[in-house]
Amino acid sequence: MGVSWTGLIGGLLGLGPLAAVGIEFLVNPPDEGRALAALPLAMSVVYLPAIWASVSATPRRRAVLRGVVAVSIAMVFVSLPFLGATLAVILIPATALLAIAGRLAFGR
């Protein structure tokens, strides 16, 4: 059981954009203030277990990846009324790669 490259790339694609937006809000705060940075930073933390499970040889890799996919889909649906399709478009590649790595799509 080696590195799951699909899961690793999917986790990084989910973590990267959300962490970048959170850091941008910290460096250049909008009118709402720096507290707004907590939301994308908290959402980016969701992808850390997927990165860890993809790199380490854990027997629960598929379960961890499937859990992250479920949370990612839930985040998209909850944010639709507030952000529109913006977050959905950003997280589609990450969610798709994690679903493939967790064998939800194209499973054997």
Residues 17-54 pLDDT 10s: 999 988 988 888 888 777 878 888 999 999 999 999 99
Helix spans in 1-108 (H) = 5-27, 38-45, 48-55, 61-83, 86-101
Joined tokens for residue 74: 């839930």
Neighbours of 87 (CB within 10 A): 22
Half-sphere exposure of 6 (CA within 13 A, CB side): 15
pTM score? 0.87
pLDDT, tens digit (0-9, with 9 covering 90-100), for 66-84: 999 999 999 989 888 877 8
* SS3 label, residue 25: helix
